[in-house]
Amino acid sequence: MSEFMPGKLVNLSRLVHRVVANNAGMMTGTGTNSYLIGNQQIAIIDPGPANPKHIDAIIEAAESLQGKIQWILCTHTHLDHSPGAALLKEKTGAVICGQPAPPGNSQDANFQPDQHWQDSSELACEEFSISAIHTPGHASNHLCFLLHDENLLFTGDHIMSGSTVVISPPDGNMVQYLASLEKLKSYPIDNLAPAHGGILAKPLEIIEGTIAHRLKREKKVLERIPTLTTCDIESLTTSVYDDVPVFLHPIAKMSLMAHLAKLEEENRISRKESLWSLENT
């Protein structure tokens, strides 16, 4: 796993380089990937947590490329992605691009983008061009970034390598998540660069596999609801995630809540106080 050693500069292609933050864990996998795009005028995607050592490692990586950090792009404002932006800006004068944080405990409320990026916002310089694709679902302000020169999509937490993305309501939304995955199918994408884990090839297979995985879980929710005498969130989590280790159930419960919210919105299930049932029973 030395490829993911914190602080180490890894060159992934002519234009793309990576430095991993020292925050590996259950939710972050091998740690947050901070990507450097370009060799002269450099854009950073996801500066990661506000860890001075990590920010210095990003700056040193840019110096070793003999480039200057000019832009900081944030996929979203979860705490392992954007809090380093302010410190990196302070040290480099780079322009911060992204969307402000929605309300919520897991959000970087201090995030202040200089440029409020939307769907299709673009950055073009001599070496490369990159544009934003708004992909709500994991987070309402989530942006993926498409590097046109390499048809490489930086997926943030929309698609991860080696672990399932958590959709945690109310900011996380399963309807939007699936729609955002569908939306990506229309773009020219050769590879995926997630914020956690390595580069993924065969993007279409991965996108379709992710959608299928979610719909399979949704089907299981619908199958299990009528089998439970007390169908509350706890017993439903145990039943629907019987293939997932118990220590992961608190996290699985969040995604289950997102599935339930979707099914309720579609009038396929209903809730009476804390108990769920199929709409027609």
Closer to Zn ion by Cβ: residue 134 or 224:
134
Q: Minimum distance between the CB of residue 140 and Zn ion, rounded to whole angstroms? A: 11
Q: How far is the CB of 31 from Zn ion (least distance, A)?
A: 13
Q: Which is nearer to Zn ion, 108 or 150 (CB)?
A: 108
Binders of Zn ion among residues 199 to 228 (CB under 5 A) are none
Task: Compute the least distance from the CB of residue 72 to Zn ion, in Å.
Answer: 17
* Closest approach of Zn ion to the CB of residue 161, in Å: 14
Site string for Zn ion, 45-84 (x = CB under 5 A): ---------------------------------x------
Contact 179, 160 (CB under 8 A): no
Residue 9 Cα distances to 55, 60, 161, angstroms = 13, 9, 19
- Binders of Zn ion: how many residues, by CB under 5 A? 2
Beta bridge partners of 192: 153, 200
C-alpha closest to that of 158 among 181, 186, 175 = 181
CB of 224 to Zn ion, least distance (A): 28
CA 49: distance to chain centroid? 14
Is 207 exposed, middle or buried, given 0-12, 13-18 or 19+ CB atoms closer than 10 A?
Answer: buried
| Tokens 């201090």 belong to residue | 110
Are the C-beta atoms of 217 and 50 separated by less than 8 Å? Answer: no
Which member of 46, 108, 150, 157 binds Zn ion (CB under 5 A)? 157
Q: Give the DSSP letter of residue 169.
A: T
Question: Which of these segments, 36-44, 154-162, 223-231, 237-245, binds Zn ion (CB under 5 A)?
Answer: 154-162
Q: What is the CA radius of gyration of the chain?
A: 20
Q: Which is nearer to Zn ion, 78 or 259 (CB)?
A: 78
Instruction: Name beta bridge partners: 193.
Output: 154
Compute the least distance from the CB of residue 138 to Zn ion, in Å: 6
- Least CB distance from residue 177 to Zn ion, whole Å? 12
The residue (of 74 and 94) whose beta carbon lies closer to Zn ion is: 74
Q: Which is nearer to Zn ion, 78 or 183 (CB)?
A: 78
Please write down the HEC assignment for all residues of 172-239: CCHHHHHHHHHHHCCCCCCEEEECCCCCEECHHHHHHHHHHHHHHHHHHHHHHHHHCCCCCHHHHHHH
For Zn ion, which is the closer residue by CB, 150 or 157?
157
Q: Does 158 bind Zn ion (CB under 5 A)?
A: no
Q: Interface residues with Zn ion (CB under 5 A)?
A: 78, 157
